[in-house]
Amino acid sequence: MSFTSPAVANSVPSRSNAPEIASVLVVTQASLSLVAGLSAIPFGIVEPGFRVLSLVTILVATGMFWLARNLRRRRRWARRWVIALEALSLTASLLLMVLPIGAMRGPVPILVNLVMPAAVMVLLLSRSGRAAFAPPGKTA
């Protein structure tokens, strides 16, 4: 006995789920950035430089939320911006990992700063990710 309705059974399968998965990962990254920016605000009382850093971090998080929303809507320009942002993030994180300042200790910074950007880039640069953002009538 099947519980699926005929409308669901006869529907055309949707395109790739890569944009939705990438969007969830970008929202997770943006949430972590927002928490980091908000937690830096109390330190801005003592050090004025932290005010600027917290504001920039909050603005970047807001931009990432907006990009994630447009990724989910399959906007091609959002895909390009997210790939550039993740490549920049991955490059900076790799540089911090190589420098002997101890910025990448433990599994959480490695997961957040290396694995998540790499996963988003793999999703968006894969064949299914390119096909999801291809213009209608064109296949990647």
CA distance 48 to 31: 24
pLDDT score recorded for residue 4: 57
| Structural contact between residues 93 and 111, judged by C-beta atoms closer than 8 angstroms | no
Q: 41 Cβ partners below 8 Å, 6+ apart?
A: 50, 51, 54
Q: Is 11 strand, coil or helix?
A: coil
- Distance separating alpha carbons of residues 68 and 43, to the nearest angstrom: 29
Single-letter amino acid, residue 45: I
Extract the residue ranges of the chain whose pLDDT is less than 70: 1-15, 102, 138-140
pLDDT at 12: 44
CB 132 within 8 A of CB 19: yes
